[in-house]
């Protein structure tokens, strides 16, 4: 396994693979890898001849009061997980390699980025789209793998690829959870022991919502109310949002029909966690 920080070396390596007719799978990450990331890598490994993982904490997608400086980083641990999982190449650039002096070109989107996380993180998705498109141009993957935990991001990337004719297939992969139900996240490391226990309210509340949907409830307000009521039983939880939207457009719905995303964002102490489920009604 190679670890490169230079765009030119990644491009040269991938071009050599493609000259041999090899397919390339890509998993973009911000590092501090866990079993959720490994599940993406494992799927990429099964479906492609070569696998590239990027590890880059992208400053462009963090707001001024967010956790860019404190975001957990451990390249040595990440590299071991990648090597054990059969990754061929890690791309680990510095910020000045990705964003040259005077950088002023961005990818933006109307609609899909204004709801859910876009309300409280208004610059976030512009940063995500810009860095992901740059990574796609650098790695030129046949397939790229994203987790459903970041469901709005998955929908945004799918739309960007379609709208901008990017020749990469986007593969969404299931949420990976701890045994007690908490969705795997690099930000879980911020939680104290008490907060870690309190964070289980996210998956518990969504379970109640999913049981309602599975029983035939199609009123979005009723589903949101049930989830909200359960979240409010946890004193350490502060709700950012509880929403029901059409998955492909991230448009709020009154009645559940088609492919629907039920998504929540909750602060446990100072740590903002997200979780969701997708239902086909």
Q: Count CB-CB contacts under 10 A for residue 279.
A: 17
**Euclidean distance between CA atoms 162 and 171, whole angstroms:** 13
Side-chain-side CA neighbours of 160 within 13 Å: the count stands at 25
Question: Do 135 and 26 contact (CB within 8 A), yes or no?
Answer: yes
- Residue 179, CA atoms < 13 Å, CB-side half-sphere: 0
- Active-site position among 37, 92, 124, 137: 37
- Which helix (H) or strand (E) segment holds residue 98: the answer is helix 95-98
Query: 165 — alpha (psi -120 to 50), left (phi > 0) or beta?
Result: left
Give the length of the chain.
281
**Which regions of 95-176 does DSSP assign to beta strands (E)?**
143-147, 169-173
CB 48 within 8 A of CB 88: no
Helix (H, G, I), strand (E, B) or coil at 169: strand
Q: Any catalytic annotation for residue 37?
A: yes
Q: Is 66 helix (H, G, I), strand (E, B) or coil?
A: coil
List the catalytic residues: 37
């Amino acid at each position: 396994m190679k670890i490169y920080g230079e765009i030119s070396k990644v491009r040269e390596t991938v071009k050599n693979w493609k000259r041999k007719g090899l397919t390339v799978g890509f998993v973009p990450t911000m590092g501090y890898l866990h079993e959720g990331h490994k599940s993406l890598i494992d799927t990429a490994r099964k479906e492609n001849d070569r696998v590239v993982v990027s590890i880059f904490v992208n400053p462009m997608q963090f707001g001024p009061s967010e956790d860019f400086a404190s975001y957990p980083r451990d390249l040595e641990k990440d590299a071991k997980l990648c090597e054990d999982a059969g990754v061929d190449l890690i791309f680990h650039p510095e910020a000045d390699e990705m964003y040259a002096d005077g950088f002023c070109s961005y990818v933006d989107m109307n609609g899909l980025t204004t709801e859910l996380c876009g309300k409280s993180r208004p610059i976030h998705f512009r940063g995500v789209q810009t860095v992901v498109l740059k990574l796609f141009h650098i790695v030129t993957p046949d397939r790229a793998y994203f987790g459903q935990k970041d469901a709005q991001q998955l929908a945004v990337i799918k739309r960007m690829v379609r709208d901008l004719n990017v020749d990469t297939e986007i593969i969404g992969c299931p949420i990976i959870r701890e045994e007690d139900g908490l969705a795997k996240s690099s930000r879980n490391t911020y939680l104290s022991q008490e907060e870690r226990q309190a964070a289980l309210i996210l998956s518990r509340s969504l379970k109640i919502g999913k049981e309602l949907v599975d029983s035939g409830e199609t009123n979005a307000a009723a589903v949101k109310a049930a989830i909200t009521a359960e979240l409010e039983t946890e004193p350490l939880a502060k709700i950012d949002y509880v929403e029901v939207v059409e998955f492909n457009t991230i448009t709020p719905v009154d009645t559940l029909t088609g492919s629907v995303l039920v998504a929540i964002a909750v602060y446990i102490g100072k740590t903002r966690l997200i979780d969701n489920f997708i239902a086909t009604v």
